[in-house]
Amino acid sequence: MSDILTLYSGTHCPLCDQAKALLYPVLQEKGWRLHEVNINEDEVLTEKYGIRIPVIVTPDGREKGWPFTAGQVRRLISGP
């Protein structure tokens, strides 16, 4: 399984910027990469995540919506 965490975000999203600032150090520490997806470019994603962004999703489909802490992200990417 790939060590890529997906971040669903949006255009002009200050909370998404906060989430990225929190995520980058944790992901770097764990050797993971971040894949950011702008939901505004996909109608289905906008419908699903529009009022919830930022949302992170692991490769196996586990999700965590904002707010989240560095500790919660570490636990999420460490496995179920």
Per residue in 19-74, pLDDT (tens digit) is 999 999 999 999 999 999 999 999 999 999 999 999 999 999 999 999 999 999 99
- The whole-angstrom separation of Cα 26 and Cα 77 is 10
- The whole-angstrom separation of Cα 79 and Cα 73 is 10
Which residues, other chains included, contact 27 with Cβ-Cβ below 8 Å and sequence gap of 6+? 5, 33, 34, 73, 77
2 falls in which pLDDT band (50, 70, 90)? confident
What the chain holds in terms of domains, given with CATH numbers, is: 4-77 (3.40.30.10)
